[in-house]
Amino acid sequence: MSVGNTTIAKPHTLRSYLNIITVLFKLRVVSLLLMAAVGGAFLGAQGWPGMTDLAILLLTGGAAAAGSSALNQYWEREKDKKMARTRHRPLPTGMIEQRWVPVVALALIFVPSLAVLPYNPWLTFWLLFGAFIYVVIYTIWLKPRTLLNVVIGGAAGSAAVMSGGAAVFNWQEPAVIVLALVLFVWSPCHFWSLALLYRDDYTRADVPMLPTKVTPHQAAWWVLSHALPTVIGSLLLVLTPSLGWLYFVPTLLVSADLLRRNVRLIRDPSPVNARGFFISSNIFLTVLLGAVYLNIVAVAIVDALR
């Protein structure tokens, strides 16, 4: 078949099917959300969460996040055709049939989430709340209408952290809530740097991301307005009894790099610097969450050897 002047081949190999699954369900984004959820579980348990609770969290959280991502792409399939970054996705190109996507996506969200309802109702709540925020509040309501879309949409990442705390029956733990707030303020600076990089794309698709409505310099300052509290909140987590130097040192280093790249972006809001900040924000979150795991596991090992 053909789309425009481009001929699109239907998938016929295992690799092509795996690529479609990875893109349609945004598995790279899902992996970050699962890392955030596991971070919430570690902080909620104040130690090793246990294999059973972790397995339930990964299965239900991964399914809900993947289903939400597929619904996001289904809803935005026409706008995705207008953007260079997204026009090669499976739905805009017609590589897969559209009609089955909502059915599978809704099943991924609701079946695992409701399956754990009798066992852990708070886990069900945070899983469904995160999906609702991402699909209904962010994708359908806010994203086409307001430049504050990713500010509120960041709550979906926070819900992932809270689901991690709920998986170990302790989502009210202050450290879990602080990490959820860090994800909330991290999301806008992360996505605004991406929107700054693809400013023309978002303008063409008529998506009111903040960098399309202000100058690049103003957008860079808005990025800093969220990057700074992100760094402050992440460093304050060291006050948690289960965290220490193994958490603080790597987090301090990636925090310094994030702010350094933000200053560079303010001085020159070029695509190169926008890309550099975007990559740095991904590294920041990965190292932050990895440091949580490392510190808590190290403490548990030391305690076991005493």
Average pLDDT over residues 128-154: 93
Q: What is the pLDDT of residue 219?
A: 97
Q: What is the pLDDT of residue 6?
A: 46
Q: pLDDT per residue over 258-302, tens digit each?
A: 999 999 999 999 999 999 999 999 999 999 999 999 999 888 888
Neighbours of 218 (CB within 10 A): 14
Average pLDDT over residues 202-217: 92
| DSSP annotation of 285 | H
The 10 Å CB-count burial string (b at 16+, else e) for 264-277 is bbbeebeeebbbbb
State both tokens at 217.
């310099």
Q: What is the pLDDT of residue 5?
A: 44
**Amino acid residing at 233:** G
Is residue 33 packed enough to be buried (19+ CB in 10 Å), middle (13-18) or exposed (0-12)? buried
Q: Give the angle 66-202-184 at the CA atoms, nearest 5°.
A: 50
Residue 15: pLDDT band (50, 70, 90) is: confident
Calculate helix-pair angle for 174-197, 271-305, nearest 10 degrees: 160
Residue 1: pLDDT band (50, 70, 90) is: very low
Average pLDDT over residues 168-173: 96
Q: What is the pLDDT of residue 31?
A: 95
Residue 2: pLDDT band (50, 70, 90) is: very low
Q: pLDDT per residue over 90-135, tens digit each?
A: 999 988 888 999 999 999 999 999 999 999 999 999 999 999 999 9
The answer, yes or no, to whether residue 181 has pLDDT greater than 80, is: yes
- For residues 37 and 33, give the distance between their C-alpha atoms in angstroms, rounded to a whole number: 6
- For residues 302 and 297, give the distance between their C-alpha atoms in angstroms, rounded to a whole number: 9
Where residue 50 falls (left for φ over 0; alpha for ψ -120 to 50; beta otherwise) is left
The answer, yes or no, to whether residue 252 has pLDDT greater than 70, is: yes
